[in-house]
Amino acid sequence: MNLVIDAGNTQIKLGVFSEGRLLHVETTVEDSFTDRIKSLFNSYPGIGHAILASVGHLEKCYTDALTVFCPVHVVGARTRLPYRNSYATTQTLGADRMALATAAFYRFHKENCLVIDAGSCITYDFVNDYGEFLGGAISPGLKMRYRALNAFTARLPLLEPEEPLDLVGNATVSSMHSGVVNGLLFELDGVIDQYKSRYSDLTVILTGGDAQFLSNRLKNTIFALPNFLLEGLNQLLEYNKS
Residue 172 counted as an annotated binding residue:
yes
Does 197 appear as a known binding residue?
no
Catalytic residues: 96
Burial of 89 (0-12, 13-18, 19+ CB in 10 A): exposed
Whether residue 9 contacts residue 55, with contact meaning beta carbons closer than 8 Å, is answered with yes
Q: Does 139 appear as a known binding residue? A: no
Q: Are 233 and 4 in contact (CB under 8 A)?
A: yes
240 is in an annotated binding site: no
The annotation status of 210 as a binding-site residue, yes or no, is no
Residue 97, marked binder: yes
Taking the alpha carbons at both ends of the chain, their separation in whole angstroms is: 15
Q: Is 194 annotated as a binding residue?
A: no
- Pick out the residues of the known binding site: 6-13, 87, 94-97, 117, 120, 172
Binding residues for K(+): 117
Binding-site sequence positions for ATP: 6-13, 120
Which residues define the annotated binding site for substrate? 87, 94-97, 172
